[in-house]
Chains A and B, each alone.
Chain A
Amino acid sequence: MTAEIGQLALTLALALASVMAISGLTGARVTAGISRDLASSAAIGMLVFIVLAFATLVYAAITSDFSVLNIANNSSLAKPMLYKITGVWGNHEGSMLLWVLVLAIYTSAIAFARRGSQRLTSAALGVQGLLAVAFLLFILFTSNPFLRVDPPPFDGAGLNPLLQDLGLAVHPPTLYIGYVGLSASFAYAAAALITREVDASWARAARPFMLAAWIALSVGITLGSWWAYYELGWGGFWFWDPVENASLMPWLVATALLHSALATERTGAFRTWTLLLSIAAFSLSLIGTFLVRSGVLTSVHAFANDPERGTFILIMLVLAIGGALGLFAWRAPSLETGSAFEPVSRETALLTNNVLLIAAVSTVFLGTLYPLFLDALTGTKISVGPPFFAFTFVPIFVALLIVLPFGPRLAWRNASVGETLRPLSPALGVAAVVAVVVCFVVRSHLLAAIGAFALAAWVIAASLLDLVQRRVRTAASVAVALAHAGLGVTLMGIAGTTLWRAETLSLLGPGETAKVGPYTLTMGGIERVDGPNYTAIRADIHVSNEDRTIATLRPAKRVYPTEQQETSETAIRTTGVSDLYLALGDERGRGRFVVRAYYNPLAPFIWFGGAVMAMGGLASLWGRVRARTAQRIIDAVPAE
């Protein structure tokens, strides 16, 4: 019965989404508020039904209702309860349901926030309605999680063990909050083109949604990278895998968008460019969804063999992106007023940021999609791996980081060169000191290491100095300092891990030792430890530093019989500034095991920097919400 309730709830949500689309878009043309109110009610109704559908699926998963095909395919009796729940979005159908759930939440937020004019809110709700209709149709026709199977199997097929992990419980929802959050700024951009209302109040209305999406993407990418680090067992944190790139592209464009929208809000500059970036950011979210969900990445041929889903998403993609770009081409020329500023100004700095970020996105875009195009068109297969991105993406980002500290210092419209540069000289001094320390104290003569740490110091010192030197510190200035400094911290982590990593691959039997970085590893013993739905072999490895035993690490290898898969459970000991990372490999005769050991200096900084960046976003969002609440209170008090 439960699955049928879910099915019915989704159908009703589809009906309400249609109502929202029609009334919202009608409301964009008339000034009466009734259409907007109808669209708002429909948005909230849609949220209620989608929450109900989602709850139904969660219930089916908790109760292991294998008469539901989706549960039979992706769950099993032996799976721990936590993963029964998180497994709901660990498969295609469930994750698409999560997608529309997040969409419904944002849509209700637009309805409640009522930022901007009546017509703007109405049109934005209409556009969200169209998106909801498309995705609900997609779920109901190609990815229905509520299909039954008869007779139901006694046990389910289980969940990919790599995905039975706490990281997975939070990573996809976070990323979806980011992807789908960009639908809100997309909807506001389309609404601005429809109503021709694009001004400072438009930027103020759309910005919280851009910020929320950017924060979620930052956290989601950071979590994904951390998950890959400890779960995949190769000690790497970023693989330039197409699935990773699919999340990086919207983040890069959303970053460009936040900067461009800042100029639109403050001086009215770059309004059409900001609209275009809003459209591009969500388009890349959709492309990411297409890449991950259509199977096109596994191989172009897998897509051709089971083209239903891929074709549906591709049509949605073409309609959404094509429609928005068409609207843009039609309306944008009449909206651009042309702003006035001097070449040395904040505006130019923001423009430079955008030029470099767009170039960076283009490397990731081509690196991810060009091999697919080439294969589809000519059948020639090429690979685009980390060496390509090291050659293209990295130099662009280095250029971005070099110029970054100047941005927040420059005044709007007309800045003085001297007043901008003078307060930055201490940061340059810090960078020089760090370069000397890296070269002569750490004794790393790698030019890349000296350059990277000097650059990171330049960015961090300049960001903190900016905060210290200000007479008035606002939430916005704290936000800028945190976001920029976080980037510098992440750079330190990346540089330390990639340039100074020590790696030892050894064959260890009981009592035998190996060295990695400053540590000596001694194999204690090997034990069999079985879990609820897996069997495992675990090694006790004693870690000593200068003849002092400091820890025992227990890397393990698991075999999941239901899923017939092996996973490596890494053991990581972190000091906060470096990681010792152990992964257990195969047995090679007489109780000796392959042990991969990595000493990763500064690795924790990678994720710490990501967290600091996200905190910057939160500071900005908090400042805005507080300012708006204060404004509402002022408005509510009648003037005397």
Chain B
Amino acid sequence: MRFVVLAFLLISGAAQAAPAPGALSDPSLETRARALQRELRCVVCQGESIDESNAPIAADIRKLIRERIEAGDSDGQIKDYLVGRYGDFVLMKPPLQPNTWVLWFGPVVVLAIAAGVATGVVAGARKRARTG
């Protein structure tokens, strides 16, 4: 029985799966492409990245990313190209620029204010604990 299974596995093992459609043959370049896909948004979808989307435009951009990577472009160059075409909307991580300062520095300001107020409260409580 075991032999049959093994034989079956050996035979079927010969029929290796075709790689994913459109994947780059160089695994390290493919990894780069996948990482880049996750940082880009599918512009017609609701909050999906290029990596996850079934939309035709996402498939086109996945193809484009691979073409640019094979042509030797850097990640930055590919992103710049796509931002030029679709605007900042295409970036999952918004760039740091004047109209995103509130977004990026807001939490830091909140943390600083909250920590400041808390320090004041603790100082007040300490004073009361030691005098009264």
Binding site for B on A (CB under 8 A): 234, 236, 239, 241-242, 269-270, 297-298, 338-343, 347-348, 351-352, 354-356, 358-359, 362-363, 366-367, 370, 374, 378, 380-388, 391-392, 396, 413-414, 504-509, 511-514, 522-523, 544, 547, 549, 588, 592, 594
Closest approach, in angstroms, between the C-beta of B22 and any C-beta of chain A? Answer: 9
Closest to B109 in A: A362
Known: A370-B102, A507-B21, A511-B15. Is A341-B111 also a contact (CB below 8 A)?
A: no
Which residue from A355, A380, A383, A511 sits with its C-beta under 8 Å from B111? A355
CA distance A355 to B111 in the complex (A): 7
Known: A362-B106, A366-B107, A381-B87. Is A514-B125 also a contact (CB below 8 A)?
A: no
CA distance A381 to B121 in the complex (A): 40
Contact A341 B125 (CB under 8 A): yes
- B105-120 to A contact mask, C-beta < 8 Å, 1/0: 0110011001100100
Residues from chain A with Cβ under 8 Å of B20 in the complex: 504-507, 594
Asked if B28 lies at the interface with its beta carbon under 8 angstroms from chain A, I say: no
Q: Top 9 nearest A-B pairs by Cβ distance?
A: A385-B92, A505-B20, A387-B93, A340-B128, A359-B111, A362-B110, A340-B129, A381-B89, A514-B17
Closest approach, in angstroms, between the C-beta of A360 and any C-beta of chain B? Answer: 8
Residues from chain A with Cβ under 8 Å of B121 in the complex: 270, 351
CA distance A348 to B13 in the complex (A): 62
Contact B92 A386 (CB under 8 A): yes
Which residue from B6, B39, B100, B106 sits with its C-beta under 8 Å from A382? B100
Contact A387 B87 (CB under 8 A): no
Residues from chain A with Cβ under 8 Å of B90 in the complex: 383
Residues from chain B with Cβ under 8 Å of A241 in the complex: 46-47
Contact B18 A370 (CB under 8 A): no
Contact B18 A506 (CB under 8 A): yes
Residues from chain B with Cβ under 8 Å of A413 in the complex: 129
Contact A522 B12 (CB under 8 A): yes
Closest to A521 in B: B17
Closest to A585 in B: B54
Asked if B80 lies at the interface with its beta carbon under 8 angstroms from chain A, I say: no
CA distance A56 to B104 in the complex (A): 49
Contact B103 A506 (CB under 8 A): no
Contact A359 B92 (CB under 8 A): no
Interface residues of B in 1-47 (CB under 8 A from A): 5-6, 9, 12-13, 15-21, 23, 38-39, 41, 46-47
Contact B118 A351 (CB under 8 A): yes
CA distance A297 to B47 in the complex (A): 10
Which residue from A269, A341, A380, A392 sits with its C-beta under 8 Å from B88? A380
Which residue from A352, A354, A363, A523 sits with its C-beta under 8 Å from B107? A363
Residues from chain A with Cβ under 8 Å of B16 in the complex: 512-514
Closest approach, in angstroms, between the C-beta of A247 and any C-beta of chain B? Answer: 15
Residues from chain A with Cβ under 8 Å of B9 in the complex: 544, 547
Contact A414 B129 (CB under 8 A): yes
Contact A385 B93 (CB under 8 A): yes
Residues from chain B with Cβ under 8 Å of A391 in the complex: 93
* 15 pairs, CB–CB < 8 Å, chain A vs chain B: A297-B46, A338-B125, A351-B118, A362-B107, A370-B102, A378-B99, A383-B47, A384-B94, A385-B49, A507-B19, A509-B15, A514-B17, A522-B12, A547-B9, A594-B20
Contact A383 B92 (CB under 8 A): yes
Known: A362-B106, A362-B110, A505-B23. Is A355-B132 also a contact (CB below 8 A)?
A: no
B: interface residue count bin: 35 or more
Contact B100 A511 (CB under 8 A): no
Contact B103 A366 (CB under 8 A): yes
Contact B107 A374 (CB under 8 A): no
Question: With contacts A381-B89, A396-B107, A512-B17 known, what are 11 further pairs, Cβ within 8 A?
Answer: A234-B52, A242-B47, A384-B94, A387-B38, A504-B20, A506-B20, A507-B17, A507-B21, A509-B15, A511-B15, A594-B21
Known: A359-B110, A366-B106. Is A343-B122 also a contact (CB below 8 A)?
A: yes
Residues from chain B with Cβ under 8 Å of A234 in the complex: 52
Contact B21 A588 (CB under 8 A): yes
The A contact surface, by secondary structure, is mixed
CA distance A100 to B93 in the complex (A): 38
Known: A370-B103, A378-B99, A383-B41. Is A358-B110 also a contact (CB below 8 A)?
A: yes
Closest approach, in angstroms, between the C-beta of B115 and any C-beta of chain A? Answer: 5
Asked if B76 lies at the interface with its beta carbon under 8 angstroms from chain A, I say: no
Contact A343 B103 (CB under 8 A): no
Which residue from A386, A504, A513 sits with its C-beta under 8 Å from B13? A513
Closest to A269 in B: B125
Closest to B51 in A: A234
Residues from chain B with Cβ under 8 Å of A340 in the complex: 125, 128-129, 132
Closest approach, in angstroms, between the C-beta of B40 and any C-beta of chain A? Answer: 9
Known: A381-B89, A512-B17. Is A347-B103 also a contact (CB below 8 A)?
A: no
CA distance A512 to B89 in the complex (A): 40
Of B15, B87, B125, the most chain A CB neighbours within 10 A belong to B125
CA distance A452 to B29 in the complex (A): 28
Closest approach, in angstroms, between the C-beta of B66 and any C-beta of chain A? Answer: 13
Interface residues of B in 67-96 (CB under 8 A from A): 87-94
CA distance A594 to B62 in the complex (A): 16
CA distance A298 to B44 in the complex (A): 11
CA distance A542 to B46 in the complex (A): 34
Residues from chain B with Cβ under 8 Å of A383 in the complex: 41, 47, 88-92, 94
Closest approach, in angstroms, between the C-beta of A537 and any C-beta of chain B? Answer: 16
Closest approach, in angstroms, between the C-beta of A491 and any C-beta of chain B? Answer: 21
Residues from chain A with Cβ under 8 Å of B21 in the complex: 507, 588, 594
Which residue from B12, B94, B106, B107 sits with its C-beta under 8 Å from A511? B12
CA distance A236 to B38 in the complex (A): 12
Contact A354 B118 (CB under 8 A): yes
Closest approach, in angstroms, between the C-beta of B4 and any C-beta of chain A? Answer: 12
Residues from chain A with Cβ under 8 Å of B102 in the complex: 366, 370
CA distance A394 to B73 in the complex (A): 31
Residues from chain B with Cβ under 8 Å of A392 in the complex: 104, 107
CA distance A413 to B122 in the complex (A): 11
Contact A351 B122 (CB under 8 A): yes
Contact A339 B12 (CB under 8 A): no
Contact B129 A512 (CB under 8 A): no
CA distance A331 to B87 in the complex (A): 48
Contact A338 B114 (CB under 8 A): no
Residues from chain A with Cβ under 8 Å of B46 in the complex: 241, 297-298
CA distance A523 to B88 in the complex (A): 42
